[in-house]
């Protein structure tokens, strides 16, 4: 048994920091698998019903502002870039640039949530609430089950929004740790893993946007 | 996974920074990936303005998949990563595909669950037009027949002889509408039949149909009368009147319970 | 640290409850799972005894219909979510997976502890619903639309399931990462014990399938709170969609229940016949194969739910395929026994019992998977008997086999053989009496989930209830044996059975880091009769 434990930069049951990193990455990917399965159920339900009620879905989706959706898409894509760059920079020991990238990622996430806020309040204004609280008789008159579309809309974007918020906390935490000096070019696992999480959040939206906002 | 070396210094980096064996993706690659993603976003928005029928969804999903692949390959580094992580993430998409395809083999093949038109609690029957409903019309007979076939025929039989398959085990047996008027519990006038539909017949298998709208019940009344040949005798027309008064008074109010309150109280008391 | 690494793990931390509450040692976590799941078995068992007492005679004995509905629902929910799903992976997987591959711990020890606490949290949420609310009366399957309308505490039950689902997911995640990254030198995939293959296949299911029921429970809760309408026909939703989502997890879930058990049987049969397992690769691949096929057959739970005939045919046809990997294992275990030097100690008795009861369970499963037959058997006691034969006569009996097999390693003491044998005979007798009678009743058409029945089924119900008392006695004997032997059992050697896998090369109980020196493996795990 080696006696380098007082210098250990990795847990005792791993051989090296690289060993620990690779295991951690595998663990993170497995977690992302569960996230995909989680959101996948929403998409499955949505897709199954869209085939059954195409006209209703078409009519309902006009209430969604595809420009706001597109803006959010681009904002998230940019945030994915900055997230990836923050990892690229810390891998090169460029801590300041890495911090800036994390900060911009956070700002993009914030913009996303603000746009979301406006989208939601606009809907509430029109009486479009989830589930049994839906109250827009004009729309219900066209299609009695139009509330179903909006239930999906709120549940899917709502859950996604919660994941964005969680991501924001995680990124803020990473910024705090990076500022403290926890990370360098050898030791940046946490940044990488938060990055992977953030990309999945982006990925979900990449599917959500066309399926929900751009149905023709 | 290799030997048990964990001495701190044995990993002097000679790969230009970064972990031993960890691939450094050049920064321009990231930027180019973003540009590709934005272009694809514009493309998918453009496609949504063109009507390609079924191919719209295929096209949009295809572009989304391409974007997802770019994010996974370059931002998430899967292109340079080991096979295992790729295999797991692909397996999740595979599992989802199984969920959708096999559920579709059920949901898309059956007659689709049509939404029951969410009629408001407001009925069409008002004090002013009540007499029209009491009088009946060919349209009401038509609608009454549809309602009868859906709700009543199973016990009362297609011709109203009380010989439906669902009524075989019932005691007392379902009413035979051709039977003598005196044998009917409440009589066979319009209002008596209305009362029977409204309250059900306690102690028998005849449930209350308060859950139907009044106009539907009137339609059924007229259809049942058309099946009934006995002379009309009203035993409980007063009760029928009371039901109608109650309904008109609370028209447009909250949805009514589907078990008559009196019956519920009875059951609770038992 | 290196000092403590050589002391047996019980003594490697300051004594007291905190050494357990904050432990990161997979062995301690495994033991905490042991205590918890045994408790769950007792709680679920009490509900079972109550069900059987009510059904002992026609007419009402103890409970009216509504109360009865809650009791059988809780029996099912507790047994499935508090006991069977966590038990073998949580107890024996946690304790032995790292040791069997020569690792010092699982890949993510803190996540492991979190998994355990999530199980406790989920149980607590359920308990709140049971004690403060009135549990649930929907059956453990929570079918819509009744689960949306009923006034019972469905949300508590279902949110507990959500939390426990994450416990299961994180355990699976941990085990997959452990197998891929922590195998010791020389431990190739095909030198791993078959128990590890089984746990790995289970872990894949845990990670891929469990999130689906997680979201389904959330959707059910949202349906109750907000009327979102996914499953509500008034809004064009489909109640059968709930069943699709539910069973997409719950069918793989039954393989989460049985695959680890099958892994135990592979270990016990081979060691206690002192003979190399017949068809190692076939069994290894059949574990993976069974896991994969399990994703394709969930609709066989829905043959009479209004599913389209097309879906019915597809699911029935593919269900036939699930027999193949299971049969491969059954035949291979039997071939392993053939001409082996069989030791009829308690673990082997339970394993032999498994071959009998799981055989019956599996074959009746194929009968039920046959569409035309299932139209008559669905929702009868034939189904109830089938799944008890595979879950209790499969997973539970294998768990008992594993507990006795590895008891000396886990505790350093030997269990009491006489009590062990007694527990086996009580259990196997009671089990078969209880559930064979239910096959007969089901064949005769007795419906399940009914608080009363036609007197024509009375004899079989009486027999079944009496059988349940023997099951209770058997399980009680196991628990007494475990507790008694932990205190008073004679000291156990490192390798009482002469096993060849890595856990038998460690101390009994193992040292903190499992091995004094990380092993280097040069041979497979079952090389009996081969030059050492």
Residue B158 within a domain: yes
Task: Tell me what pLDDT residue C530 has.
Answer: 59
Rounded to the nearest angstrom, the minimum Cα separation between B182 and chain C is 38
Q: Please check whether residue C385 is in contact with residue C440, taking contact to mean a CB–CB distance below 8 angstroms.
A: no
Q: Of the candidates C146, C78, C76, C158, which has an alpha carbon nearest to the alpha carbon of residue C448?
A: C76
CB-CB under 8 Å, A2 with B4: yes
> Residue C511 in 3-state DSSP?
strand
Q: How confident is the model at residue B14 (pLDDT cuts 50, 70, 90)?
A: very low
**Residue in C with minimal Cα distance to B82:** C180
Residue B117 within a domain: no
Q: How confident is the model at residue B231 (pLDDT cuts 50, 70, 90)?
A: low
Residue B123 within a domain: no
**Residue in A with minimal Cα distance to C26:** A13
Domain residues for A116?
A: 18-213
Mean pLDDT is lowest, of B102-111, B117-126, C117-126, C451-460, for B117-126
Task: Tell me what pLDDT residue B205 has.
Answer: 77
Domain end (from B72, B107, B142): B107
Task: Tell me what pLDDT residue B257 has.
Answer: 53
Same domain, yes or no: B141 and B206: yes
Task: Tell me what pLDDT residue B4 has.
Answer: 39
The answer, yes or no, to whether residue A7 has pLDDT greater than 90, is: no
Q: Of the candidates A24, A52, A46, A48, which has an alpha carbon nearest to the alpha carbon of residue A196?
A: A24
Task: Tell me what pLDDT residue B194 has.
Answer: 87
Same domain, yes or no: B178 and B83: no
The answer, yes or no, to whether residue B19 has pLDDT greater than 70, is: no
Chain A contact for B45 (CB, 8 A cutoff)? yes
CB-CB under 8 Å, C211 with A34: yes
Q: How confident is the model at residue B244 (pLDDT cuts 50, 70, 90)?
A: confident
Mean pLDDT is lowest, of A152-161, B111-120, B241-250, C163-172, for B111-120
> Is pLDDT larger for residue A3 or for residue A169?
A169
The Cα angle at residue C192 between residues C191 and C198, in degrees rounded to 5: 140
> Residue C133 in 3-state DSSP?
coil
Same domain, yes or no: B32 and B136: no
Residue B221 within a domain: yes
Return all residues near C524 (Cβ < 8 A) that are at least 6 apart: C190, C191, C280
Q: Give chain A's domain count.
A: 1
CB-CB under 8 Å, A206 with B71: yes
Stretch A32-49: mean pLDDT, rounded? Answer: 96
* Alpha carbons A18 and A188: distance in angstroms, whole number: 11
Residue A115 within a domain: yes
Q: How confident is the model at residue B2 (pLDDT cuts 50, 70, 90)?
A: very low
Q: Please check whether residue B210 is in contact with residue B167, taking contact to mean a CB–CB distance below 8 angstroms.
A: no
Q: Which CATH number belongs to the domain containing residue A176 in this structure?
A: 1.20.120.80
Chain B contact for C301 (CB, 8 A cutoff)? no
Q: Please check whether residue C426 is in contact with residue C393, taking contact to mean a CB–CB distance below 8 angstroms.
A: no
* Alpha carbons C291 and C528: distance in angstroms, whole number: 29
Task: Tell me what pLDDT residue A1 has.
Answer: 42
At C231, phi and psi to the nearest 5?
-115, 15
Q: What DSSP character marks residue C497?
A: T
Domain end (from B107, B139, B169): B107
Q: What does pTM read for this prediction?
A: 0.83
> Residue B157 in 3-state DSSP?
coil
The answer, yes or no, to whether residue B74 has pLDDT greater than 70, is: yes
Residue B212 within a domain: yes
The Cα angle at residue B250 between residues B244 and B254, in degrees rounded to 5: 130
* Alpha carbons A20 and A12: distance in angstroms, whole number: 10
* Alpha carbons C530 and C532: distance in angstroms, whole number: 6
> Is pLDDT larger for residue C514 or for residue B134?
C514
Residue A37 CB: number of other CB atoms within 10 A? 26
**Residue in C with minimal Cα distance to B116:** C234
Q: Which residues pair with C511 in a beta bridge?
A: C8
Q: Give chain B's domain count.
A: 2
Residue B2 within a domain: no
Residue A132 within a domain: yes
Task: Tell me what pLDDT residue A73 has.
Answer: 96
Look up residue C367 and give its two tokens.
Answer: 């009968």
Residue B10 within a domain: no
Distance spanning both ends of chain B, measured CA to CA:
73
Rounded to the nearest angstrom, the minimum Cα separation between B95 and chain C is 7
**Consecutive sets of 10 residues in chain C, 532 residues long: mean pLDDT of each?**
71 89 95 98 97 95 93 97 98 98 96 98 96 92 92 93 98 98 96 97 97 96 89 86 97 97 97 95 97 97 93 96 96 96 97 98 96 94 98 97 97 97 98 98 95 95 97 98 96 94 93 91 84 48
Q: Of the candidates C315, C327, C423, which has an alpha carbon nearest to the alpha carbon of residue C369?
A: C315
Secondary structure in 3-state letters for C74-96: HHHHHHHHHHHHHHHHHHHHHHH
Residue A4 within a domain: no
Fold assignment, C10-505: Cytochrome C Oxidase; Chain A (1.20.210)
Q: How confident is the model at residue A216 (pLDDT cuts 50, 70, 90)?
A: low
Task: Tell me what pLDDT residue B117 has.
Answer: 53
Same domain, yes or no: B102 and B134: no
Residue B236 within a domain: yes
Task: Tell me what pLDDT residue B268 has.
Answer: 67
CA distances from A183 to A92, A105, A179 (A): 11, 18, 9
Chain A contact for B37 (CB, 8 A cutoff)? yes
CB-CB under 8 Å, C209 with B95: yes
Collect all residues of chain B within an 8 Å Cβ-Cβ radius of residue A43. Answer: 96
Domain residues for B163?
A: 130-269
> Is pLDDT larger for residue B167 or for residue A143?
A143
Look up residue B97 and give its two tokens.
Answer: 């595909």
Q: Quick one: how many helices (H) and strands (E) in chain C?
A: 19, 0
Residue A23 within a domain: yes
Helix B190-199 / helix B237-249 crossing angle, nearest 10 deg: 60
Same domain, yes or no: B64 and B95: yes
Same domain, yes or no: B135 and B262: yes
- DSSP code per residue over A140-169: HHH-TTHHHHHHHHHHHHHHHHHHHHHHHH
The answer, yes or no, to whether residue B116 has pLDDT greater than 50, is: yes
**Residue in B with minimal Cα distance to A195:** B76
At B187, phi and psi to the nearest 5?
95, 170
Same domain, yes or no: B148 and B246: yes
CB-CB under 8 Å, A83 with B48: no
């Amino acid at each position: 048994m080696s006696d380098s434990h007082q210098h250990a930069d990795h847990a005792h049951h791993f051989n090296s920091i690289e060993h620990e990193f690779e295991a951690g990455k595998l663990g993170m990917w497995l977690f992302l698998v569960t996230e995909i399965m989680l959101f996948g159920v929403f998409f499955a339900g949505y897709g199954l019903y869209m085939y059954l009620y195409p006209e209703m879905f078409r009519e309902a989706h006009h209430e969604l502002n595809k420009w706001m959706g597109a803006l959010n898409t681009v904002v998230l894509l940019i945030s994915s870039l900055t997230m990836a760059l923050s990892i690229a920079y810390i891998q090169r020991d460029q801590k300041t640039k890495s911090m800036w990238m994390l900060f911009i990622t956070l700002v993009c996430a914030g913009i996303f949530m603000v746009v979301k806020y406006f989208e939601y309040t606009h809907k509430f204004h029109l009486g479009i609430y989830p589930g049994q609280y839906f109250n827009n008789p004009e729309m219900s008159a066209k299609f009695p089950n139009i509330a179903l579309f909006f239930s999906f809309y709120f549940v899917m974007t709502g859950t996604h929004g919660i994941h964005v918020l969680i991501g924001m906390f995680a990124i803020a935490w990473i910024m705090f740790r990076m500022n403290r000096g926890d990370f360098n070019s050898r030791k940046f696992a946490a940044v990488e893993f938060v990055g992977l999480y953030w990309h999945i959040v982006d990925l979900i939206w990449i599917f959500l946007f066309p399926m929900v906002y751009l149905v023709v | 996974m290799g030997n048990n070396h964990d001495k701190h210094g044995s990993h002097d980096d000679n790969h230009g920074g970064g972990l031993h064996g960890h691939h450094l993706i050049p920064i321009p690659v990231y930027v180019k990936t973003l540009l590709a993603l934005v272009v694809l976003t514009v493309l998918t928005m453009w496609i949504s303005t063109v009507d390609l029928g079924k191919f719209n969804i295929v096209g949009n999903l295809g572009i989304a998949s391409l974007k997802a692949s770019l994010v996974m390959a370059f931002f998430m580094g899967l292109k340079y990563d080991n096979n295992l992580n790729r295999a797991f993430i692909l397996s999740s998409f595979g599992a989802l595909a199984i969920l959708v395809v096999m559920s579709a083999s059920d949901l898309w093949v059956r007659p689709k669950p049509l939404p029951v038109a969410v009629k408001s609690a407001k009925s069409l029957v008002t004090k002013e037009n009540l007499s029209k409903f009491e009088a009946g019309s060919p349209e009401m007979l038509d609608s009454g027949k549809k309602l009868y076939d859906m709700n009543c025929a199973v016990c009362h039989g297609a011709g109203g002889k009380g010989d439906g398959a669902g009524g075989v085990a019932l005691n007392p047996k379902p009413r035979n509408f051709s039977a003598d008027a005196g044998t009917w519990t409440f009589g066979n006038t319009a209002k008596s039949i209305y009362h029977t539909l409204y309250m059900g017949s306690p102690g028998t298998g005849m449930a209350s149909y308060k859950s139907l709208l009044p106009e539907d019940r009137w339609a059924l009344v007229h259809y049942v009368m058309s099946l009934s040949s006995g002379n009309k005798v009203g035993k409980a027309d007063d009760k029928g009147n009371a039901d109608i008064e109650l309904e008109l008074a609370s028209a447009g109010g909250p949805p009514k319970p589907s078990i008559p309150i009196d019956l519920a109280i009875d059951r609770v008391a038992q | 640290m290196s000092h403590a690494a050589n002391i047996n793990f019980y003594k490697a931390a300051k004594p007291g409850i905190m050494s357990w509450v904050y432990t990161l040692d997979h062995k301690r976590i495994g033991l905490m799972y042991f205590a918890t799941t045994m408790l769950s078995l007792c709680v679920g068992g009490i509900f079972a005894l109550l069900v059987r007492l009510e059904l002992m005679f026609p007419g009402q004995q103890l409970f009216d219909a509504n109360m009865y509905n809650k009791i059988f629902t809780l029996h099912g929910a507790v047994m499935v979510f508090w006991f069977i799903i966590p038990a073998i992976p949580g107890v024996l997987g946690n304790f032995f997976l790292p040791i069997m591959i020569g690792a010092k711990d699982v890949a993510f020890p803190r996540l492991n502890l979190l998994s355990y606490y999530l199980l406790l949290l989920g149980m607590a949420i359920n308990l709140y619903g049971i004690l403060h609310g009135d549990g649930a009366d929907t059956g453990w399957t929570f079918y819509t639309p009744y689960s949306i309308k009923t006034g019972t505490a469905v949300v508590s039950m279902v949110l507990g399931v959500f939390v426990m689902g994450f416990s299961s997911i994180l355990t699976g995640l941990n085990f997959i990462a452990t197998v891929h990254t922590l195998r010791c030198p020389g431990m190739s995939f095909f030198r791993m014990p078959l128990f590890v293959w089984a746990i790995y296949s289970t872990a894949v299911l845990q990670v891929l399938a469990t999130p689906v029921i997680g979201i389904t429970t959330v959707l059910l809760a949202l349906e109750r709170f907000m009327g979102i309408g996914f499953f509500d026909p008034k809004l064009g939703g489909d109640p059968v969609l709930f069943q699709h989502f539910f069973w997409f997890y719950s069918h793989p879930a039954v393989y989460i229940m049985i695959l680890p058990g099958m892994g135990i049987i592979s270990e016990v049969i081979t060691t206690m016949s002192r003979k190399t397992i017949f068809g190692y690769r076939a069994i290894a691949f059949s574990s993976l194969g069974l896991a994969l096929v399990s994703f394709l057959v969930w609709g066989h739970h829905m043959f009479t739910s209004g599913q389209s005939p097309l879906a019915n045919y597809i699911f029935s046809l593919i269900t036939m395929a699930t027999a193949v990997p299971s049969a491969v294992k059954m035949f291979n275990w039997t071939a392993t026994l053939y001409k082996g030097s069989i030791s009829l100690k308690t673990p082997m008795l339970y394993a032999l019992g498994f071959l009998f009861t799981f055989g019956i369970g599996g074959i009746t499963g194929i009968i039920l998977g046959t569409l035309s037959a299932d139209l008559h058997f669905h929702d009868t006691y034939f189904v109830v008997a089938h799944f008890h034969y595979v879950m209790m006569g499969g997973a539970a009996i294998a768990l008992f086999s594993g507990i006795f097999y590895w008891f000396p390693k886990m505790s350093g003491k030997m269990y009491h053989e006489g009590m062990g044998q007694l527990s086996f005979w009580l259990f196997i007798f009671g089990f078969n009496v209880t559930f064979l009678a239910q096959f007969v009743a089901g064949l005769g058409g007795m419906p399940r989930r009914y608080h009363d029945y036609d007197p024509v089924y009375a004899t079989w119900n009486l027999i079944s209830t009496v059988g349940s008392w023997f099951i209770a006695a058997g399980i009680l004997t196991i628990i007494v044996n475990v507790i008694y032997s932990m205190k008073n059992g004679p000291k156990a050697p490192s390798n009482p059975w002469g096993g060849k896998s890595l856990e038998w090369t460690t101390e009994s109980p193992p040292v903190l880091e499992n091995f004094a020196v990380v092993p280097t493996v040069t041979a497979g795990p079952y090389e009996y009769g081969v030059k050492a």
